[in-house]
Amino acid sequence: MNILIKNATILTMNGEAPFAGDILIQGDRIADMGPNLTADADEVIQGAGMAAMPGLINAHQHTPMSLLRAFSDDLKLMDWLDKKMLPAEARMNPEDIYWGAKLSMAEMIRSGTTAFADMYIHMNEIAFAVEEVGMRASLTRGMVFLEDDGGRRMNEALELITRWHGRADGRITTMLGPHSPYTCPPEPFKEVIALAEQLNLPVHTHLAESKEEVVKIRETYNQTPAEYLYHIGLFERTHALLAHSVHLNRRDIGLLKGMRGGVSHNPVSNLKLGCGIAPVLDMMEQGVTVGLGTDGAGSATTVDMFEEIKAATWLQKLDYGDPTRLPALQALQMATRESAKLLHIYNEAGTLEIGKKADIILIDMKKPHLQPVHHIESLLAYSVNGGDVDTTIVNGKILMRGRQLLTIDEEELFKQVSGRAKRITAGI
């Protein structure tokens, strides 16, 4: 199917200034961009008054946790996890996982996210949902090695990779997911790294989200969490996606320098759980790639990436007492091209370029809070919210047009998640 977007304000996120023009999509790729394009198209989208930009890329998610949205707010991290999240998650069956993932995807599509990195259990169900809905995703079976499970988690991770890597017209990729330094002792973690090397796959893990984690690793290994990962060879041997990375000292950041992959900064979740402010600019100054993610809706409550963009830039300005830090365009690039690098899909997504996949969103700028347009990057970073997204396109397929989802039955979705959420959380 060929689609022609006419007369939009185009932001490529690859260093070009915004410009007025058209975008021609042929099949699943961007075929041309520029003023006054003429081409045979199956569908013409009028982009006047719209901003066209790459779809946002959520670099760290736990999609089924949407079923636990606003269930356990205003608690400390370990209370939130031990008293609420883990007991509720233990009640989730594979169908719950499927519908919870779909609920997150509905919110992501509605708020302009076209790709995401996910770590959870029952990943086949999440993969089925991705295949049906039409998003792009990097899927990871989270693995905890604190007790012997006969290799079940590793087998499920390998099954996911074998069954789904490259599927859904190439929209699904996979990673290996040792959960974190404090849940994965050195030997099994090293086995995962060796397997990632062998399969040429990235590793997705959590790092230094809380002060408690830092204390725990220090007491167990006499190292910081970053030193732990460095000494078992993660940064040297494979592409790594590190979620959070809040509590890193200068030496830790030096260990990350030169690594393949980088860090998913998840500011809204970190703020709500009182975890702290990640040293984003210090990492960037050392050449570490820093993208943006939401974490799960169980902590962040929303998976609207425009909220993450705002929070990311405001936090750094506040932390440094300097309003020039992390300017609007850089924050937008974190949510697009930098996150694409973390998911290892930058050759296909993250910027609007001829030949790249057609993952595009259109934002309706004809609203009081988005007028007048002096600097469109500032409006996108500081004023736009997910509800301003009019159209979402992934792989050349329209998933939302005029705020209407085209691949998800919302009425059935809401019916399913309401009953399941009540059952899962009853009595907890």
Assess contact for 66 and 297: CB atoms under 8 A.
yes
Assess contact for 391 and 98: CB atoms under 8 A.
no
Residues 6+ apart with CB under 8 A from 118: 61, 62, 63, 101, 126, 137, 138, 139, 140
d(CA 308, CA 386): 11
Range 417-425, long-range pairs (CB < 8 A, 24+ positions): 417/66, 417/67, 417/99, 417/100, 417/103, 420/67, 420/95, 420/96, 420/99, 420/100, 421/67, 421/68, 421/71, 423/91, 424/67, 424/68, 424/88, 424/91, 424/92, 424/96, 425/68, 425/71, 425/88
Residues 6+ apart with CB under 8 A from 157: 140, 141, 143, 176, 177
Domain layout of the chain by residue ranges: 2-54+357-405, 56-342
pLDDT (0 to 100) of residue 150:
65
Under CATH, which architecture does the 2-54+357-405 domain have? Roll (2.30)
pLDDT (0 to 100) of residue 175:
98
Residues 6+ apart with CB under 8 A from 273: 76, 77, 80, 210, 299
Digits of tens for pLDDT over the chain (428 positions)? Answer: 899 999 999 999 999 999 999 999 999 999 999 999 989 999 999 999 999 999 999 999 999 999 999 998 998 888 888 899 989 999 999 999 999 999 999 999 999 999 999 999 999 999 999 999 999 999 999 999 987 776 899 999 999 999 999 999 999 999 999 999 999 999 999 999 999 999 999 999 999 999 999 999 999 999 999 999 999 999 999 999 999 999 999 999 999 999 999 999 999 999 999 999 999 999 999 999 999 999 999 999 999 999 999 999 999 999 999 999 999 999 999 999 999 999 999 999 999 999 999 999 999 999 999 999 999 999 999 999 999 999 999 999 999 999 999 999 999 999 999 999 999 999 99
**β pairing state of 29-34 and 240-244:** unpaired
Q: What is the DSSP letter of 175?
A: E
Q: pTM for the whole thing?
A: 0.98
pLDDT (0 to 100) of residue 320:
97
Side chain identity, residue 274:
G
Give all strands (DSSP E) within 208-299, no chain letters.
240-244, 261-265, 289-292
**Fold (CATH) for 56-342:** TIM Barrel (3.20.20)
